[in-house]
């Protein structure tokens, strides 16, 4: 059943910006935009997360880790597409989607740190923090992981609640 079919006028400007950026309005965005406040909050959190010192592929590993853990199929498809756009190899993409070890130490450390941060609700072990820092990440990056988890928990929960479907252009990434 669809509970969130209407998009209020207050969200139209934000949806037009999404369409201008990527060429279409994803179903997930339209459904989240049912609450202009939630949609704007996600967009702002996402923009701030994108401005961190984490590399784009590192951010995508974190996002995909959150998406898989939270069971958001539309998010997994969207971020698989983004990893492909960033030229991640198939082995890396599949490892993140399947939540198994990535063959690249720095990316695997990001994945494991994100998992521990979620599982412990932020109370990561000293060993996890030391492993994270040993890969060249900073304590600021550790806090940025929390920011990414927050942004994409909002997104995954909203997408699941609104039963967002995978759009045609993204179906190839399922």
* Residue in this structure with the two tokens 């991640």, named with its chain if needed: 88
Q: Is 41 exposed, middle or buried (0-12, 13-18, 19+ CB in 10 A)?
A: middle
> What sign for the dihedral angle of Cα 102, 106, 112, 114?
negative
pLDDT at 129 over 50: yes
Please state the pTM of the whole predicted model. 0.90
Mean pLDDT of 128-138: 97
pLDDT at 172 over 60: yes
Give residue-wise pLDDT tens across range 6-60. 777 888 888 888 888 888 888 888 889 999 999 999 999 999 999 999 999 999 9
Distance CA(113)–CA(62), nearest Å, equals 9
What domains can be seen in the chain, in order of their start residue?
A: 9-173 (1.20.1290.10)
What six digits make up the tokens of 144?
A: 């940025």
The residue count of the chain comes to 174
Query: Is the model more confident about 24 or about 120?
Result: 120
Give residue-wise pLDDT tens across range 75-116. 999 899 899 999 999 999 999 999 999 999 999 999 999 999
Distance CA(4)–CA(88), nearest Å, equals 34
Give residue-wise pLDDT tens across range 47-82. 999 999 999 999 999 999 999 999 999 999 989 989
Give backbone dihedrals phi and psi of 137, rounded to 5 degrees, phi first. Answer: -75, 160
């Amino acid at each position: 059943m669809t509970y969130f079919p209407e998009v209020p006028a207050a969200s139209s400007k934000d949806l037009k910006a999404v369409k201008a950026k990527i060429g279409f309005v994803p179903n997930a965005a339209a459904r989240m935009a049912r609450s202009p406040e939630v949609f704007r909050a996600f967009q702002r959190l996402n923009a701030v997360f994108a401005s961190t010192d984490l590399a784009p592929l590192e951010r995508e590993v974190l996002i995909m880790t959150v998406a898989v853990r939270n069971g958001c199929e539309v998010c997994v498809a969207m971020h698989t597409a983004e990893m492909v756009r960033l030229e991640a190899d198939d082995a890396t993409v599949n490892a993140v989607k399947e939540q198994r070890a990535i063959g690249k130490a720095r990316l695997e450390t990001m994945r494991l740190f994100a998992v521990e941060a979620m599982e412990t609700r932020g109370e990561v072990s000293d060993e996890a923090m030391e492993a994270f820092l040993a890969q060249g990440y900073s304590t600021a990056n550790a806090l940025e992981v929390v920011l990414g988890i927050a942004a994409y928990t909002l997104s995954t929960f909203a997408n699941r609640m609104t039963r967002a479907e995978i759009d045609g252009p993204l179906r190839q990434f399922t």
